[in-house]
Amino acid sequence: MLAQPSDVRSFGEGWIFERKLDGIRMLASRDAAGHVELWSRTGQRLNATYPEAAGALAGQACRDFVVDGEVVALHRGRTDFALLQQRSGLTNPAAVRASGVTVTYYLFDLLRLGGVDTTGLPQRTRKALLRDALDFTAPLRFTPHRNHGGQELLDQACGWGWEGLIAKRASAPYAHRRSPNWLKLKCAAGQELVVGGFTEPAGSRIGFGALLLGYHEGGRLRYAGKVGTGYDTRTLRELRGRLDALEEARSPFGEPVREGGAHWVRPELVAQVAFTEWTRDGRLRHPRYLGLREDKPAAEVTREKTPRRR
């Protein structure tokens, strides 16, 4: 189930409010035989990448369940997507240990319990069952919520350095799609964008100069601008290798992109980008690269609403 971006800030009764987490969405299942599987939204098996989460779920007294949640890396109490990138894609146990990155798996929903499908139950009931079903020892955490919220609660969340809030209709079932029963209330501009090309590095820089980004609208890939900051040396090298493997002769964008010497790639990679705002001509202002999203299909990337200024 996915949340819709929203600028709604006034809510009546019947909603709960959770912290918006900036990490990797992950479903986890355990069958009656005790076998655990971790999956990303795109169907990638993540047991080897997050073995501590798999181990904690395997050790539960509750033997049969499916849960939904988000894997994050925390730095001084805040979720740090760039830090989490140091674990993303690692499958070798030695490499996972050497990364030095501790992850936390926040659980916020329950899809099956004891062989029974729970997706038709109300949101509040599913969370109550989840809280009672599992033992939340590290790296597992139950995602708490508040029963009242709106602009004041969002302001508090932003002041704490959170990404924002997720508002959920307490009586709603779990739907395997984007739903108005889950609303994304963001503190600052930022979203996922599709990588459609890149420029060559200049001067002493290695790898590439900037990523050329876009989003899907009206059946075509719209150009949103380029992002040239936020990369370390390792990212520049590794990402250039992935870009070279996707290179194509023609631009994937549905409009002219005036970047001299641009290289075009198949629009398969999804980048998480922070920025201050959208310009009037539909470009990103002051963008900064945060990392790749392996859990977001490129075909689903559209332009999100910018939160209303406070």
Distance separating alpha carbons of residues 42 and 26, to the nearest angstrom? 10
Q: What pLDDT shows up at residue 187? A: 84
Give the CATH number for residue 41.
3.30.470.30
Q: Give DSSP secondary structure letters for 96-113.
A: HHHH---EEEEEEEEEEE
Per-residue pLDDT tens over the stretch 7-40: 899 998 999 999 999 999 999 999 999 999 999 9
Q: Which domain holds residue 44?
A: 22-142
Contact 297, 42 (CB under 8 A): yes
Residue 15 is assigned to a structural domain of this protein: yes
Greater confidence (197 vs 279) lies with: 197
The confidence score (pLDDT) of residue 294 equals 85
Residue finishing a domain among 84, 119, 142: 142
Could you tell me the two tokens for 163?
């990404």
Using one digit for the tens of pLDDT, what is the confidence trace for 136-180?
Answer: 999 999 999 999 999 899 999 988 888 899 999 999 999 999 999
Pair 87, 76 in one domain: yes
pLDDT for res 276: 80
Q: What is the share, in percent, of the chain residues with pLDDT greater than 70? A: 98
The CATH number given to whatever domain includes residue 161 is: 3.30.1490.70
Count of domains for the chain? 3
In a domain, 310, yes or no: no
If one compares 186 and 242, the residue with the highest pLDDT of the two is 242
Average confidence (pLDDT) over 115-131? 98
Q: What is the mean pLDDT of residues 230-255?
A: 95
14 and 103 inside one domain: no
Q: What would the pLDDT profile of 174-218 be if each residue is shown by its tens digit?
A: 999 999 999 999 887 789 999 999 999 999 999 999 999 999 999
Mark whether 202 and 295 lie in a shared domain: yes
Higher pLDDT among residues 41 and 65, named by residue:
65
Structure confidence at residue 68 (pLDDT): 98
Residue 308 included in any domain:
no
Task: Give the lowest-confidence range in 61-70, 99-108, 296-305.
Answer: 296-305
Residues 131 and 268 in one domain: no
- Residue 122 sits in the same domain as residue 271: no
How far is 168 from 45, CA to CA, in rounded Å? 28
Strand partners, 74: 79
Say whether both 43 and 110 belong to one domain.
Answer: yes
Give the pLDDT confidence score for residue 77 in this predicted structure. Answer: 87
Q: Is 20 a catalytic residue?
A: yes
Q: Are both 221 and 159 inside the same structural domain?
A: no
Which residues are CB-contacts of 275 (< 8 A; sequence separation ≥ 6)?
Answer: 189, 190, 284, 285, 286, 287, 288
Question: Which residue, among 191, 181, 187, 140, has the nearest Cα to 19 in the 3D structure?
Answer: 187
Q: Side chain identity at 102, as an amino acid letter?
A: T
Residue 188: the pLDDT is: 74
Q: Write down the catalytic residue from 20, 168, 184, 226.
A: 20
Q: What is the pLDDT of residue 128?
A: 98
Whether residue 234 is found in the same domain as residue 296: yes
- DSSP string for the chain: -EEEE----B--SSEEEEEPP-SEEEEEEE-TT--EEEEETTS-B-TTTSHHHHHHHHT-S--SEEEEEEEEEEETTEE-HHHHTTTTT--SHHHHHHH---EEEEEEEEEEETTEE-TTS-HHHHHHHHHHHS---TTEEE--EES--BHHHHHHHHHTT--EEEEEETT----SSEEEEEEEEESS-EEEEEEEEE----TT--S-S-EEEEEEETTEEEEEEEE--S--HHHHHHHHHHHHHHEESS--BSS----TT-EEE-TT-EEEEE-SEE-TTS-EES-EEEEE-TTS-GGG--PPPPPPP-
Q: Is the pLDDT of residue 227 over 70?
A: yes
Greater confidence (294 vs 211) lies with: 211
